[in-house]
């Protein structure tokens, strides 16, 4: 069941980036992460995204396989964000740089 914001459920053990949610194929790095580091077992539900607003539930299969488990869903782009701050010496440059990177 999706979250209230249209995105994937928040109780999944992983949310992964793939090239295509239509045909999810894990990269070498993702394969190593899910099957070796996280030690996910076949049948475990995770979600995958293409990073452009589409996602779907999949089940972990044998090593290197993600089996689709539901329809592809899309989340609409968020409304533009406005950032306001009090001018402090040196802050405008830092605030603008962080805002451009997404603040993370």
* Tokens 């990269």, located at residue: 27
Query: Given this model, what pLDDT does residue 103 score?
Result: 46
What integer pLDDT is reported at residue 57 of this predicted model?
95
- Whole-number pLDDT of residue 86: 74
Domain boundaries, the chain: 15-77
At residue 104, the pLDDT reads 46
Residue pair 55/7 in contact (Cβ under 8 Å)? The answer is yes
CB-based contacts of 16: which residues, under 8 Å, 6+ apart? 26, 30, 34, 46, 47, 48, 49
The CATH code for residues 15-77 is: 2.40.240.20
Q: Is the dihedral of CA 48, 8, 44, 41 positive or negative?
A: positive
Instruction: Supply the pLDDT for residue 87.
Output: 73
Q: Quote the DSSP letter at residue 37.
A: I
Confidence (pTM): 0.68
Reduced to 3 states (helix: H, G, I; strand: E, B; else coil), residue 101 is helix
Q: What is the mean pLDDT of each run of 10 residues along the chain (104 residues)?
A: 63 92 96 94 94 94 95 87 73 70 54
Instruction: Check residue 4 and give its pLDDT.
Output: 55
State the Cα–Cα distance between residues 83 and 1, nearest whole angstrom.
33
Q: Identify the pLDDT of residue 63.
A: 94
* Half-sphere exposure (Cβ direction) of 84: Cα atoms closer than 13 Å: 0
């Amino acid at each position: 069941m999706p979250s209230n914001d249209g995105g994937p459920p928040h109780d999944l053990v992983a949310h992964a980036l793939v090239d295509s949610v239509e045909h999810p194929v894990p990269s070498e790095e993702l394969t190593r992460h899910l099957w070796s580091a996280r030690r996910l077992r076949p049948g475990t539900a995770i979600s995958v995204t293409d990073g452009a607003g589409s996602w779907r539930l999949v089940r972990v299969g044998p090593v290197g396989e993600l089996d689709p488990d539901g329809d592809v869903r899309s989340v609409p782009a968020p409304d533009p964000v406005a950032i306001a701050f009090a001018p402090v010496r040196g802050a405008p440059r830092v605030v603008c740089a962080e805002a451009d990177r997404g603040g993370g």
